[in-house]
Amino acid sequence: MDPIPFPTSPTGPVRGRRPERDLAALRERIETLMLQHLQAPAIHRALTGLENPNPITISLRQIRSHMRAVERSWGARSTAETREQDRARAIATTEEAIRIAFARSTRTATSNVGVGYFNAALKAQEQLIRLCGLDAPARTEVSGPGGVPLSFALADHPAEHLDPREEARRLRQMAADREAVADEADEAAETPR
């Protein structure tokens, strides 16, 4: 893979904002390094280290900021249409991998190599199942008799059947009990130790 040409920039600190052309080239270079599964410190070394023919001056914080910008651009480029295209491409690639692995497994069935191809085909089939969503749990709906929604009846509590006067008396008694407990706590707090 040919390296992406990077504009020559001064090796010293850059004052102000980089020109848009340089910024786009820098982000493209960072994106390439991100796609190689490099983390921010490794990207920083790759851009600023001595092994780089044109090292630049950039902080690790700025690298992380550019990485977030690249990730945001990935999200912006991902639309429903492109996701479906990517999914269809992944399914076609997986199907082709399965076909090739089974064919080579059959050709080399008498050796351990054939077993390796067979295992690769099985793993590709698992990937295809996930891509197609065939491993998703089946949705089941539970309904009551005749398809009506389920209704739940809670057991009656004896207090629900009290006379309103009896209920008022019980609430007054509970309030008096609470006040007595609060008065005892106040008296205990006021007494010197």
Instruction: List the chain pLDDT tens, one digit each, 193 residues.
Output: 445 555 444 444 556 677 888 888 899 999 999 888 899 999 999 999 888 888 888 999 999 999 999 988 888 877 777 888 888 888 999 999 999 999 999 898 888 888 999 999 999 999 999 888 888 777 777 777 777 887 777 777 777 788 889 889 999 999 999 999 999 988 888 877 6
> Cα–Cα–Cα angle for 116, 119, 120, nearest 5°?
85
Closest CA to 27 of 2, 50, 58: 58
Closest CA to 38 of 49, 30, 48: 30
pLDDT of residue 73: 87
C-beta separation of 128 from 91 below 8 A: yes
CA-based torsion, 73, 75, 76, 81: positive or negative = positive
CB-CB contact of 94 with 127 (8 Å):
yes
Residue 61 in tokens: 């914080």
On average, the pLDDT of the chain sits at 84
Check if the beta carbon of residue 1 is closer than 8 Å to that of residue 14. Answer: no
Q: How many of the other CB atoms lie within 10 Å of CB of 31?
A: 18
Single-letter residue type at 140: T
Maximum CA pair distance of the chain? 96
* pLDDT recorded at residue 42: 93
- 105-152 per-position pLDDT tens digit: 989 888 888 899 999 999 999 999 988 888 877 777 777 777 788 777
Tally of CB atoms within 10 A around 155:
4
Residue 10: predicted pLDDT = 46
